[in-house]
Every structure is written in C-alpha cells, then in structure tokens.
Structure 1
Amino acid sequence: MRKLTSLNAEDDALFDLSFDWGESLGVPGALIVRNQHHSQTYLPAETLEPLLFYRQQELVSLRGTGSGMLKEWDRVYDYAYYSDLGMPEKGHQYARPVLGGRTIPTLVEQEPNIPILKVIVPEVKALLDKTINEFDTFEDIIRLYEGGVKLPDSHYSHSLKKIRQCVPWELVRELIRSEGEHFLKFPVPVVIKGDKTVWRTDEEFGREMLAGVNPVVIQRLQEFPPRSKLDLGQYGDQDSRITREHLHTNMNGLTVDEAIEKNKMFILDHHDALMPYLRRINTTTTKTYATRTILLLQGDGTLKPLAIELSFPHENGDALGAISQVFTPCDHGVGNAIWQLAKAYVAVSDSGYHPLISHWYIHIAYIHNFDATMMDVFISVCRLNTHAVIEPFVIATNRQLSTLHPIHKLLKPHFRDTIHINALARQILINAGGVLEITVFPARYAMEMSSFVYRNWNFTEQALPVDLIKRGVAVPDESHPYGLKLLIEDYPFAVDGLEVWNAIEAWDKPWLPKMETRAELIEACTIVIWVASALHAAVNFGQYPYAGYLPNRPTLQTLLGVSLIEILSRHSRDEIYLGQRDNPEWTNDELALEAFDRFRAALVEIEKRIRERNEDKTLKNRYGLVEVPYMLLYPNTSDYSREGGLTGKGIPNSISI
C-alpha cells in the first residue's frame, strides 16, 4: 500500500491498494476495507466534521432496508421472529409456532439459515437408541465415566463420521467424538468425584439451590400456604396443598408462622411455570409433575427440605384445578425410597426449567439513538435469562451506535461470538426435533413454554440487587455491603455475585458520557455486562459438574444430554475473561484505561476473597458434603494460560458457548 498525493484538499488523501487474486475465485462482489486503528471514540456532537457523513452512512448500511432475503455478504443487523424452528414439511409433529410478538413473545436476529439439524438428528438418533440410554443400576451409570459405552457395530462409526463432517464448530464437534472402541467416555463429574452417594442427601439437595447450576430461582416464602398466580378461571385452584401438619415435625421447634416471621422459610417453586403445559406434555411418552419444594433455613446456614408437592392437571379439565400429593422426608425403608423419588422429580423440573428459562433467555432492550444529552431505552419482549435476550442488544448496538461511540466500545467485548453461537443453537439445539427437545422433559413444547414464562420478565429486575430483593432473599440495608442484607448469609451465588456486580458498576461509572440520565445509563450497561458475563457463567459452566451425573439432574436422552452439557460447560482455549481485553490498545482514553486497570485489580481481589471464603469451613454451602468449592463466579481475570476445558471457574466477557 502506498499513499498518493492529495487530489482535493489539504486534509484529503488517496490510497492505492494492490493484492493477489486468483481467477478461479471469480469477480469479487464487494470489498470491505477495515481500519483497525480505532482506539479513539467520539460522541455524535464531538465527532470530527469530515467523519459525520460516513458515521451516519455506516449505520444506514448496517440497518438495511428491512425487506428481502439477506445474503451471506450483507452487513445488516435486523430483527426477525423465531420462524425457522419448525419443519412442517416433515409432518405435523415437526410444526412449531412462530415465537415473537405479543402472543408468544420473543425476538431474534437475521434470517433463517439452512438447518444442518436435518442431517444431524437422524444420525444422532441412530447413535443414541433407547437400548444404550437405559440403565438398570447406578453402577451402569458409573461405567459411563470409568469405561465409556462401546459402539455396537460399524454403522455407529459411520454415523459418527457423518455428524463430524456436518458440525461446523470445532468445540461442538467434541460432542460426538469417540475414543478408540468407545463412544463418549466422560470425565467424572465433580459431584461424585469424592463420594458417590452424598449427592442423594437432603443437605446437598438444598445446597445446590444456592451454589449449584441453577441458583437464581429460590425465593423466601412470605405467605402460607403458597399461592398460585395462574388465572383462576382458566386453571382453577392451583394453590398449594401443603399444610402445617406436613411441616411441623421437621421445623426445629418453630411454628410455620414463626419461621416465616424470622425469614427462615424458602421455596423452590416450579408450579406455575410448568402447569399450563403439563397436560400436553403428559399426553406424550413423557410424564412429569409441576413441583413446589419448601425448605427451612437452619442455624448453620444450610437449607433443610421440609416438603415436596407434586401436581398434575385434573383429568376432567384444567378449570377443576390441580391434583396434588405432598411428600415429606423419611430416612428409612420404603418411605426413604419415595422421598428420593420425589426429590428426583424436583430435579427433573429444575433440569427442564434451567436450560429453557435460567440459561436460554434473558431480555431484549432496543437501544435507540444515544447522544450527549439523552438515552432512550425501549424495553421489548424476548426470552429469559441469558442467550436470546443478549441478541437484541447486539443488534441494537450495531444499528444505533457507531463504532466511534464510547458505549459501543464499552459493550462490544460482551457481545463476542453471541450471535454466532445462537445461530448454531437454532440449527442444532432448539429446532423441532433438535437436541434440546429430545433431552429435556417439555420436549416439543420447550421453546413455547419458555416464551410463556417470559411474559412477566422485566429488564430492570435483572440487576442482581433488584433480583435478590424481588425473590425475598435480601432486603435493603445501608449498614451492609452494597446496601443489601442477605437473609441467607451463606448464599455463594449472591455473595460472590454482588462483589462482581459492584466491580462492573464501578468500572462503568468513570468514563461513560455525562448526560441527564447518566445513572440510568450506568445501570443499563451494568445489567447488560452482568448478564452477558457473570450471570451466564453462573448458570452455564456448572452444568457438567452437577448435571453430568445423570441421577442428580435427569434428562430424557442420557448420553446425548450428558454429551451436550459437557460441551456447554467447557471454556474455549481463546477465552477472554472479565477484566481482560483481546487488544491492549483498545482505547487511547486515559480515563477509560485507568478505570479498566482499577476494574481488573478489583476482580483479582475478588478472586482472593472467593478462595478465602471457600476455605472457611463454617460456610457449609460453599463446599458441601460433595466437597466442591463454589468457583462459578471466580473471575479468572489473572489467568492468561488459555488452557480452557472443564475448569469449573472463570467469567468470560461474553456468551460464546
């Protein structure tokens, strides 16, 4: 490349470029020239006059026209419904409703892709037939980790080869790897690495609600009996059938009313989320229950399960309410076996709820026209908790904020690879007949059910302090750190999460543009970064450690389910963790660089405090009988080894798996 003499004005320059091109490649349809020296940011009002036109035109180009089918080479960020999940051409059993709008809310990016699922699923089903998904004893399951499952014949090897050729992403191809004569020899999940039986204890059952793979659902019980919020006219009486008599023998001398007054009663409630879909689910080969679990906070900070309620729709119609049965703890004989089975159904409910609600969805906000004096954030409707809701932030940021904008610079690292992994999920995981539908109990109703749950979702409630207060596990108290008093003091997700949340918020404050609504802007950016980084880490990377052992978190397709969560729990070798940057020269703004240095130092200090808490044996929920320290919100900022794998720790900058 060489710079030629200016043709027009003193500040203009013309560059002559030359490069090699093979004739076999044909005539290029377009060329994209990228300027990698983009460390300077400008608010619109501060943009250099010669750049204003190009800044505006770039955004016009990225928004597209909103019509026509997008081509592979189009650089367009646009919105669309989830209209490509079904495959009705294969038969009515593959038809799925369009997800989006007010009826079944959701929103996604870009146009449908050609699903490689059409090739993969038949081969997956050929590999994972019902014979090798059935186990007669716990010892049979243990053999998955000690010896693997042998391939019965050459057809299986052929299927493996065909799948590997179709899956485009190297990390996901690990899902269908084979080792010698075995198909999928799994690493031992940490939940059974020490003792192979303590996962069954009531202590571990309660602990995982605070420090397991889904620690974001438990609530404080504030009225008894628990009441349903489902429409009485449509679903009848769905209130709990748990009585005081069910609980009193295990209350440690307290009455129910005393325990509620002292903030010691808690509930894991999956009833209302599941009940509207149970009748349809139970007409298939899958059978399950809606569940409620009531727990007591004990003096040592642990949770003790008191009762489990299993419910299903009345056989004569939804309007007649629920048919429910209540089970209480028993430590011997047939009663113990029944109690263990009741806990297993709670695990089934939570295992279905986790990937559909806690993990897949979060929220979508349409960020419109940031400028130096105002910010409009339009909250729209999408899925819950992490993957799908970050998509609209990616789209809105690229449509509305120039790459020159400081907010674009702030958020960009937290959008890395998210659109790519979600597009792959639409082809492999969440399609009709896809991996998700054949592993979790809602099956074909999985995605529709998650959209139903989303109706009550609110963006501002995704701020961790607000979420903890809403669930009743914390109350405002300025005398405590971060202005919150945790009612379960040994709540690893909340304790570590609040430290990370505070570090993110402090990182946002110093260098964001000054504007009338600056506090709201800081809060909004903190929520986006929290969701894309720490919240996703908390509900994603613990999947294999806890759910890799099938009886602890049951799925329908055992081998496929375990294979899937093993991959989803892996950190990639090129992972960039919170407090790290892929380019040290990402900005020349000294104020931003100083703020980032403080942010990184704060995260390293959080790492130290997490290690110290994990060594404190009085904090029983951090370690448990399974002896698994809580590391899911350990930032891993200080680690530049790029080793990856099933580390069980580390907060990546973005949702990239």
Structure 2
Amino acid sequence: MFGIGKNIVEGALNTTGDLAGSVINAGGNIIDRVTHLRGKKIKGKVILMRSNVLDFTEFHSSLLDNFTELLGGGVSLQLISATHASNDSRGKVGSKAFLERWLTSLPPLFTGESVFQINFNWEDDFGFPGAFYIRNGHTSEFFLKSLTLEDVPGYGNVHFDCNSWVYPSRRYNKDRIFFANHTCLPNDTPAPLRKYREEELWNLRGDGTGERKEWDRIYDYDVYNDLADPDDGDHRPVLGGSQQYPYPRRGRTGRPRARKDHNYESRLSQVMSLDIYVPKDENFGHLKMSDFLGHTLKAVSISIKPGLQSIFDVTPTEFDNFKEVDDLFQGGFPVPFNAFKTLTEDLTPPLFKSLLRNDGEKFLKFPTPQVVKDNKSAWSTDEEFAREMLAGVNPLVIRRLEIFPPLSKLDPKVYGNQRSTITEEHIKHGLNRLTVDEAIKQNKLYILDHHDALMPYLRRINATSTKTYATRTLLFLKDDGTLKPLVIELSLPHPQGDELGAISKLYFPAEKGVEGSIWSLAKAYVGVNDVGYHQLISHWLHTHAVLEPFIIATHRQLSVIHPIHKLLVPHYKDTMFINASARQVLINANGLIESTHFPSKYAMELSSYIYKEWTFPDQALPNNLIKRGIAVEDSNSPHGLRLLINDYPFAVDGLEIWSAIKSWVTHYCSLYYKDDKAIQNDFELQSWWTELREKGHADKKHEPWWPKMQTLSELIESCTTIIWIASALHAAVNFGQYPYGGYVLNRPTTSRRLMPEVGTAEYKELESNPEKAFLRTITSELQALIGISVIEILSKHASDEVYLGQRASIEWTSDKFALEAFEKFGKELFEVENRIMQRNKDGSLKNRSGPVNMPYTLLVPSSTEGLTAKGIPNSISI
C-alpha cells in the first residue's frame, strides 16, 4: 500500500509540481484530529461540489486527494469569533476541524453536491462565529456552497453562504476566509472582524501586476487592447484611455503584450478560445458550461465559420428566392458530402447532433423564428415594420419628432449640411388632414433616426464590402395606436468630401410593381442600420460593456457582507465570462460580428463613438423615455409618467418591471441606511462609487451627470438602474434576437449594394425578379448561416438560469426583513407577468401582437429553458 502511495505522490509531483505541502505536516494533522475527539463539539454541515470523476485528469486528482486524506491532510476549517478578539484585536481563531468521511463519501458520477459533516471543538468564551478559514489540502479545487453550524451556544444555527471555488492551499498566500451571511455596514462591523473584512478586499484588488491565473481571485481594470492581433497583421484601435476612443473598462488578464505593438495584449490561440481569464467565481457554472454555450459558441467560431467559408469558396451560392430562406427552417442547408465531412469532423457529438437533420442529409437546420411561425409574409407589411420599433428587439431608438424637418447634431464645420431634405409637401398626404405643426403639437410624428450615429463612419464602412446608407424614417401615430411609415430618407456622404454635407434621396410607401420593390429595399436599408445599431449599441455597449466596470468595482470595494454587495451581486452572474468570450470570438477583429454585420471592421470603433454620448442617468427607463420624447412627467399617472404612445409594449411592460425593482431596492436600502448621513459615512460605498467613475468609466470621470452618492435617493436610483440594465434591459434586447432576426429577410444584418438606379442592370433585375434582387442586396447566404447560428445561441436560456425575483440560495441573508421584502418583490413580479399576459389578449392593443401574431413577451419575468422569447434573468448571463 505504501509503495502504491509513493508512486502516486511521485506522479503528482511530476504533474502538478507540488504535493509536498499537502503531506509534510501529515503527522501533526493526525494529532490534531485525535485532539478534536475530546471536549465539547459544535456540529456543522458543509455542502460542496467535487470535480467530475469521469474526467480522467480529475479522476487522477481524486486519487491524489484520497491519498492526502490518508496522510492526515484534507480540507480543514477554523472558526473565527466575531465577538472575542485575540491580542492583535483580530477575532479569535479556533482550532482546526476536518471534513469527515471524504474517503467513504463518493463523489457523484456527474458533478453535483456532496454533503460532509464536520465537528468543531467549542470553547465557552468563543462567542459568535462570524467567519471561518478554510484550507484545501487536496490537489484539485472544489466549489464550496455553504457551511451551516448547528446549535451554536447562545446563537442557534449559523449559516455561511459561500458559493466560491476553493483551490489547493498552495495557490494562496493566505487561507480563504468566508463570512456568516449577516449583513452590516463597515462602521457596524464587529471590531474583531474589521481587519479580516479589510484584508479580504485587499486580496481581491491585487497589485495590478502579473499575468492572472485561473485560481487567482483578482478583479482589476484594463482597456480594450485585446480585440486585434497585430502579430498577425490585424489592426483595430485600442478602446479606452483616450478622448478619441473612450470606452468602459474590462477585466484585466495581464497577458503578455503583442510582439509587434506593445500597446496591445496578446491574444489566446483559437484552440483555447474560451479559456480567457476571469476570476473563477465569474465563470459559467458546470451546467451552463456543459450546456449548449460553452462548446457551441466556440464551435461556431473555430469550425462552422471557416468551414462554411471554405464551402462557399468552392461552390459560391446565393439565396435565389424567399423559399430558399424558408427551407432553412424546414430541411436545413445542403452541403456537398466531402465538404460536409470536413466541416463536421471537429465538432463535439452533442453539437454535431443538434445541427443535423435526422436523415443526415443536410446541415444547419434551424428552428422556425416566431416572426414567421403564424404568417410567412406578414413581416413585410408596413404595419409590422413600424410595430417592431415599439415591440421588437430594438425598441430603444424611436423618438418623438419635435422639430421639422429633422435636424442633425453633427458639427457642420466637419460634416457640412446634414439637415433632412424631407418637406411638408412630401408627407402631408399621410398626416390625416393635419399640418406638420398640428401633427407635432398633437404628438403624432415620430422618427427612427440612425443618421447621426452612422454618417461619420459611413464613407469608411462603404469602402469595405458593405454598401449602405444612413437612414431616417418618419412615422405617423394613427388613431388606433399603430404607427404608419411616411417616408424613408437614405443618405450618403458627399462624394467630394464630408464637409460638403450629405446626398439624400427619399422613398415612399408603395405596395406593387417596381415602386413596391424599391420601398421594400428602402425598409431593408433601415433594417440593416437598426440591426447593426442594436447589436453594437443597444445590446453590447449599453448592457454588456457598460456594466462590467460596476462588477469589478463592487468586488474590489464592497465587502461580501455589505448590503449593497448582497443586493447587486446576483445581477453580475456570468457577465464577465460572457464578455471575455465575446472579446475572443464575437467582437474581435475578423470575429463573428464583424463577419456578419454592416459596420465590418469599424464595428467596435463605432460603438466607442456612440459611447461618447452615453450617460448613466439616462439608462433609467423613465429618464430614457422622457429623453426620447415618448413620455412626459405626470404625477397623476402610474409610475409618474404619461406615455404619448399608449400602446408601446416595451415601455408599458418595462415601466411595471422598473417600478417593481425600484420598490424592492427602496425597501431593502432603507433597512440599512436610515438617513443621508449614513450614506455619506459609508466609506466602502463612497470608495465603490469613486472607483467606478474614476477607474471603471475613467474616460467619463469628469462628467457632471454622475450621481454624487450623497443621498439615499441617489443610492436607490443608481442601484435600480444597475439592476434594470443587468436584467430587464438586457432581456428586452437579447432574447428576441432569434425570434425576430432569425428570419434574415425581416432583419438583414448588412447590405452589399446600393439602391438600383433606373437604366442599370440591377434595376432591370428588380423589375423582372424582385425577390432575387432583394436577396442580392441584403445579407449573403454565408453571412446569414453564420449570423443565424450565433443569434440562436445568444437567444437561449440555460438550464441553470435564475430569473428576476429569484435567488440561487434561499439563505442569501440572515436578515428576515430583507427576506420578507424580497418575497414581496417576487410576488409583485408574478402579478406583473399576469398583467402582461392579459394585455397580450386585448385585441384593441394592436401593437402587442401585430400582423405576425407574435405576442410581446420579452419582458415576461419567468421562462423555461431554451428558445422562448421571454424571461428576465437576473444578470447578463449570455
């Protein structure tokens, strides 16, 4: 037996480099364990998740861990008193106790929870156990869910909600510490725990140097200098740290610099595409990682995309008619056998199976998008085109027109005259006998305006394979609550220079003949603008990117027992990991977004340009609606606002969700802050808010609109806005991507040629074969297949999703008043959900379902797993 043990140890030393630290003091640990058998005991229950023994590497580690147990090592815990201090004013540390029955408690075949008993020696003068150290003497990490102490004298049961990965002790300079799930402000922290609280935050901040390893727990900031690889000839500007390219900060990895340009961080190899560093606790859980996303997103990047490109190089093809698009959802995409074999040989079996028809003849068979499930042609109507501005996947751009003709905010010294060329004569036929002035005064005119956002980049974008316009779309609010498009303006930079202004053309609604085909193309160009703006701005920038600095600052400056940390941290789950993955395979140079969306290589640079206009207060839904002129303040109306478009599904449902969140946040924060002075005296809170501005959003640190964080109302509004961004706002712009955009005709991602001119071959094709001309103009077949593959992944809920109004643990706090308030929040959301469903049944609300008969459910709080077009996860988790 000892010979076998010796071989195991020698093998471990060869593979892990160091097991000696786990076994040198084995004799002492055995003595400790014998000592623990004497005296009064406190029983405890530890819940953790061990590694999957079906994985060969983990199985090897499991054998080594068992050997460590035999030598007296293993997993030890030491309680720390919150009421009794040692000579150094720190809480008294108890003697070691070890997890029991590790050897006899077999881990599950699939990663799951294991429960262990533990017995602590108890001293009568120990007091309340407010924290504990844990030391992992094994060779592999485990996920520690909780510790529960039973019948602590004078205190009853004491629970520690841990939810953190614990690596072998040799990976840490100091043993891991966890605090009881009590909540307190810094100044209210028991004196014996204060230094422990401060030290834990110091550990999480790190020193800003070195390359981060998977076991590190360091949260730090960096600029977006990891999107391109100058060593391979890729060049994109560094985003963040300059006035020209401002940007929110991302999590620092500390990877080496690129060889050819030290301003850039080196990139991971494609084979390791999702192994980018984030603190382990920010990584996907085992269910989600083994679910569809971990393998599928990577496969789209490293297998499907290049595989399809190679096929199309050999057998170039296009969609020839709309039926071929429909066939993607009926039979799949036909692939020549040899190409098919090459394309699929690197795919994991579950992914391979999910992409094939049952008969194995075709590849990439997609589920039917909801927008065409009930009616295959209703997407093309003007009513549906307008309705999706209020109830689609990007309902955040439309605004009320207050000045006619529409103005531009672009600097005329740089861009010349960018004012709209639309006149009253052009639109008077659609104003229901009103003049333009009367229509404006009666709040009847609205605009979807992508002009100013795109015009500064349009010349460069159109120098790529993209050929598109900056668009303005005017709409009229009809008496039945629906919007009617009046005119679309397509604009290009002046061919002789930007300073000469825009060249614009106007297009008007038509149903038949070549005029109808031209109108359909005009709407498609608007769709192209809207899809790109949605993906890069409404989705990526305004949710994913802007929130990451909040996550980093929270972990660096707010203790885990701080009430605001406990309030916000569920709304950060998985966000750093999905953002890191996006930087590696989605928004990187030549990545999936550049390959499929019209801004091409200027995609992220364009989002930096739009970030210049971003303000934190305007992310609050009421402020956003007021800013866009869609609502006005009205103390007599629900939520303090009166909507000027009563049947605006996103706004109506969103305001109910917003109010429920704010009510919960108000109740919760008021439990801990009795007045404004308490806000001002909370040094962790003040450090959090200062660092968030000065480091997290450093390029905007001098903006006057930042809340000062001096009052309770500022804290409530800020936390409500953070939760809104992470939950409902992201849900509204994410989970409808496939239901609306999976049908590429409805939401094309790019355009490849400009509007046909009379007398050209393209115009003749439009006359003779309008479907073919339309398909030659918008997203190519290759781009469509890649793009649909991506948004199908991004639109799905994982099996372990936690939704708004829920918590992963019911014992996340010991404060019964906070638990009662949270239970009330959950019940309020349930009532909101019922009201949304009732509104969707109201036939008088025509924007709720529209011609496509697709009810607006993106802000329904609950959902099941999969592609549901509803459900509000707590966090930006995909």
> 2:128 matched to which residue of 1?
none
Secondary structure of 1:227 counterpart: coil
Which of 167, 171, 195 aligns to 1:30? It is 171
| Letter paired with 1:410 | L
Alignment partner of 2:847: what SS?
A: helix
Aligned partner (choices 12, 17, 26) of residue 98 of structure 2: 17
Q: 384, 388, 401: which is aligned to 1:221?
A: 401
Q: Offset at 1:24?
A: 11
Does structure 1 conserve the Cα–Cα contact (< 8 Å) formed by 2:370 and 2:740? Answer: yes
The equivalent residue for 2:735 is 541
1:153 aligns with 2:307: no
Structure 2 letter corresponding to 1:222: E
SS of 2:217's equivalent?
coil
Give the equivalent residue in structure 2 for 1:466: 623
Partners in 2 of 1:411 and 1:115 — Cα distance?
Answer: 34
Whether contact under 8 Å (1:115, 1:428) holds in the other structure is no
Whether 1:134 and 2:332 are equivalent positions in the alignment is no
Deviation (angstroms), 1:409: 0.3
Alignment of 1:265-414 (within 5 A): 265-361=445-541, 385-414=542-571
1:202–1:305 contact (8 Å) kept in structure 2: yes
Give the deviation of 1:22 after TM superposition. 7.6
Q: Higher mean Cα deviation, 30-39 or 274-283?
A: 30-39
Q: In percent, how many aligned pairs have the same letter?
A: 55
SS in 2 for 1:29: helix
Aligned ranges for residues 228-627 of structure 1 at < 5 Å? 228-361=408-541, 385-512=542-669, 513-514=672-673, 515-516=675-676, 517-555=711-749, 556=779, 557-627=783-853
Question: RMSD of the TM alignment (CA)?
Answer: 2.4
Deviation of the 1:249 alpha carbon: 1.3
2:202 to 56, 60, 66: 60
Change (3 A) 1:36 1:585: farther
Q: Deviations over 1:599-642 (max 9, x none)?
A: 00100000110011000000000010100111000111xx6xxx
Contact 2:344 2:352 in 1 (8 A): no
Shift of 1:71: 2.6
Q: Is the 8 A contact 2:179 2:561 kept in 1?
A: no
2:638 & 2:352 partners in 1: Cα distance? Answer: 43
Q: Verify: 1:198 aligned to 2:392, yes or no.
A: no
Give 2:529's aligned amino acid.
S
How far is 1:252 from its partner? 1.4
Query: What is the distance in 1 between the residues matched to 2:353 and 2:591?
Result: 14
Q: Determine the C-alpha separation between the residues in 2 that align with 1:547 and 1:23.
A: 47
Post-superposition CA distance 1:2-34 (Å, at most 9, x none): 695899969531214367878899996325866
| Residues in 2 aligned to 1:305 and 1:546: alpha-carbon distance in whole angstroms | 19
AA aligned opposite 1:75: R
1:629 aligns with 2:769: no
Cα distance, 1:625–1:554 mapped onto 2, change above 3 Å: same
In structure 2, the CA distance between the partners of 1:24 and 1:109, relative to structure 1 (3 Å rule), is: closer
* Structure 1 residue 177 displacement after superposition: 3.5
| Cα deviation digits, residues 567-611 of structure 1 (max 9, x gap) | 111111111110011111111111101110110010000011001
CA distance in 2, matches of 1:37, 1:156: 54
Kindly indicate whether the alpha-carbon contact (under 8 Å) linking 2:177 and 2:200 is maintained by their aligned counterparts in 1.
no
Change (3 A) 1:141 1:237: same
Going from structure 1 to structure 2, the CA distance change for 1:459 and 1:406 (only over 3 Å counts) comes to same
Change in CA separation of 1:24 and 1:235 when aligned onto 2, cut-off 3 Å: closer
Shift of 1:479: 1.3
> Equivalents in 1 of 2:140, 2:744: separation in Å?
52
- The 1:133–1:95 alpha-carbon spacing in structure 2 relative to 1, beyond 3 Å, is farther
Residues 570/550 of structure 1: CA separation in 2 closer, same or farther (3 Å cut)? same
Q: 1:569 to 1:70 in 2, by over 3 A?
A: same
In structure 2, the residue matched to 1:378 is none
Give the partner amino acid of 1:652.
Answer: P
1:546-577 alpha-carbon deviations (Å, 9 max, x no partner) = 10101101124110111111111111111111
Report whether the alignment pairs 1:116 with 2:116: no
Is the 1:175–1:567 Cα contact (8 Å) retained in structure 2? no
Matched, 1:143 2:339: no
Task: Name the CA shift for 1:38/1:282 in 2 (closer, same or farther; >3 Å).
Answer: same
SS in 1 for 2:810: coil
Of 82-91 and 207-216, the range deviating more from structure 2: 82-91
Taking structure 2 as the reference length, the TM-score comes to 0.68
Displacement of 1:88 = 1.8
1:117–1:427 Cα contact (<8 Å) kept: no
Is 1:219–1:268's contact at 8 Å kept on the other side of the alignment?
yes
Q: CA, structure 1 residues 274+117, in 2 after alignment: closer, same or farther (shift >3 Å)? A: farther
Of 283, 306, 328, 1:125 maps to: 306
Q: Distance in 2 between matches of 1:282 and 1:155?
A: 32
What letter corresponds to residue 377 of structure 2 in structure 1?
T
- Structure 1 residues 118, 245: CA separation in 2 closer, same or farther (over 3 Å shift)? farther
Q: May I ask how many residue pairs the two structures share in their alignment?
A: 621
Aligned to 1:268, the other structure's residue is in SS state strand
Question: Is the Cα–Cα contact under 8 Å of residues 478 and 484 in structure 1 kept in the other structure?
Answer: yes
Query: Contact between 1:117 and 1:428, CA under 8 Å: does it hold in 2?
Result: no
Give CA deviations for 1:271-310 in whole Å, capped at 9, x if unaligned.
0111111111111121110000000000000000000000
CA deviations over 1:446-467 (Å, ceiling 9, x no partner): 0000110110110011110000
1:438 partner SS: helix
Unaligned runs of 5+ in 2: 1-31, 40-78, 104-136, 142-166, 256-266, 274-300, 677-710, 750-778
Encode CA deviations 1:498-546: one digit per residue, 9 max, x unaligned. Answer: 0000000000112213141110000000000000000000000011111
Question: Structure 1 residues 150 and 36, CA, compared in 2 at 3 Å: closer, same or farther?
Answer: farther
Kept in 2: contact 1:198–1:626 (CA 8 A): yes
Per-residue CA deviation, residues 317-347 of structure 1 (Å, 9 max, x unaligned), is 1111111101111122111111111000000
SS in 1 for 2:448: strand
Counterpart of 1:345, as a letter, is Y
- 1:27, 1:437 → 2: CA distance? 41
Task: For 1:563, give the aligned amino acid.
Answer: S
Q: Secondary structure at the match of 2:93?
A: coil
Asked if 2 retains the 8 angstrom alpha-carbon contact of 1:133 and 1:558, the reply is: no
Residue 398 of structure 1 aligns with an amino acid whose one-letter code is H
**Residue among 189, 211, 217 paired with 2:391:** 211
